[in-house]
Structure 1
């Protein structure tokens, strides 16, 4: 897929693939906001302004698939102890209303900008599928997600990866012992959260399943430690992530570790995120369906 198509209120814009690459670099801290807008100018012209291009690739959180306050869900803003990380962490805990007993749980880990509305939406989707779902906010010690992704990225950059990993491990432990949970826990995550889901899979052998979406990889030698069922989702056009997958997959094979991996043709990094034009509805639906089937197989049976 060489280009993306974005429909606006006044015009339809064909977005060059290079614009998505600039956005990806901007999202991951390789470009400043100023440099991102400066480089967008190369692709503007005629009726298409830099501001219009930027608006096409920025997230639109009004596209959520679920809403807060739905009668079939119980939602809470919670705090939990993370002695090896922030000390105290916070998150968004959602579970099905009317459950007659403890349920399995899913930890949902956000991208590199804190617990934004999209990941809250994904957390609700997990709860609607019959799980107790927790979306931790790595920005909680800094005041929480600030309401926009730019400031969220800047805040998250102030925390160390080691501290945040400890906070997510503590979140999994919190779920494991929660009164609404039967002790069975899985994890999923997206981008930065995908990398964390990969790391939790080699750090917490008691997890029952891990489903990382287009995240980074642990060191190759960590593959030998893997005891957790792993299902991986990758975009076909995502060289930054996929380059590392080649060596990590080789390490998994060398260690004889079973895993499932799916590459979605014609998609870009972030294809599951329905708030940006990188969203691919067919691939996202297929990946999420596979995710829920995988969790049902490992969290709801046995």
Structure 2
């Protein structure tokens, strides 16, 4: 599997876009927007898995204005540092950077077919906000804390969307998840998956304090099926 780093230039600088290519060298693109830990071991493993399924995957360095190529350990100290970094993060900048990263991905010679956005945690929020401004073939938002307070944006989203939440998430209480379910109900193309016993970041196998071995494979299978259905 080939991997390389592209550079995306914006008005106030440039940032890295980490790229993974499928064995056949070409395929639909997936913009993989990372969690607050940055483009670390978990995001890289997800990217490799997606490339193994035939997708061209790009993960942007969200925190380049604060600390280029930020990667935190998946322990309590790393979580505390990541939460501090997230508190200083400018979300509108993150959405704008992600839009440019997506455009860069779609313009690559290896890009063939459609485009999807997949984000975890902070990336789940950014992916959802991005979907209100750009049209893609699929959006997958995993436990995005900004989603429940921005359900009105669903009116602007034309792309198919899959929302994934943990029903026992201390950062996103169940009643807030219910707001998303209510807003999505009856909307064509918008689906929700709630792992009722799981908490936040329950797919992250690098973070034992969050990972749920029972809920994670079920949610990931749902995500892969959603991608194949809408992206090929």
Judge same fold: TM > 0.5, yes or no: yes
Q: Say whether the 8 Å CA contact 2:8–2:14 is kept in structure 1.
A: yes
Q: Say whether the 8 Å CA contact 2:170–2:199 is kept in structure 1.
A: no
Give the Cα separation in 2 of the matches to 1:94 and 1:212. Answer: 20
RMSD in angstroms over aligned alpha carbons?
2.1
Gap change, CA 1:152 and 1:235, over 3 Å in 2: closer
Q: Say whether the 8 Å CA contact 2:171–2:200 is kept in structure 1.
A: no
**Uncovered stretches (5+) of structure 2, i.e. residues with no partner:** none
Q: Say whether the 8 Å CA contact 1:252–1:258 is kept in structure 2.
A: no
- Verify: 1:139 aligned to 2:70, yes or no: no
Q: 2:195 maps to which residue? A: 264
- What's the TM-score once normalised by structure 2's chain length? 0.86
Q: 1:104 maps to which residue? A: 28
Q: CA deviation at 1:276?
A: 2.0
Gap change, CA 1:226 and 1:192, over 3 Å in 2: same
Q: 2:166 maps to which residue? A: 235
Q: CA deviation at 1:252?
A: 3.3
- What's the TM-score once normalised by structure 1's chain length? 0.67
Q: 1:65 maps to which residue? A: none
- Verify: 1:78 aligned to 2:9, yes or no: no
Q: Say whether the 8 Å CA contact 1:82–1:166 is kept in structure 2.
A: no
- Verify: 1:93 aligned to 2:19, yes or no: yes
Q: 1:209 maps to which residue? A: 138
Q: CA deviation at 1:146?
A: 4.6
Q: 2:124 maps to which residue? A: 194
- Aligned residue runs from structure 1 range 1-302, under 5 A: 73-83=1-11, 87-99=13-25, 102-141=26-65, 142-148=67-73, 149=78, 150-205=80-135, 207-216=136-145, 217=147, 219-241=150-172, 242-253=174-185, 256-277=187-208, 278-300=210-232
Q: CA deviation at 1:273?
A: 0.5
Q: Which has the larger radius of gyration?
A: 1
Describe the superposition over 1:217-237 as per-residue Cα deviations: whole angstroms up to 9, x where unpaired: 162321111101011111120
Q: CA deviation at 1:248?
A: 3.3
Give the Cα separation in 1 of the matches to 2:151 and 2:164. Answer: 19
Query: How many residues are treated as equivalent by the alignment?
Result: 222
Give the Cα separation in 2 of the matches to 1:74 and 1:212. Answer: 26
Give the Cα separation in 1 of the matches to 2:85 and 2:171. Answer: 23
Q: Secondary structure at the match of 1:167?
A: helix
Describe the superposition over 1:64-111 as per-residue Cα deviations: whole angstroms up to 9, x where unpaired: xxxxxxxxx10112211233xx53121210011343xx3101111111
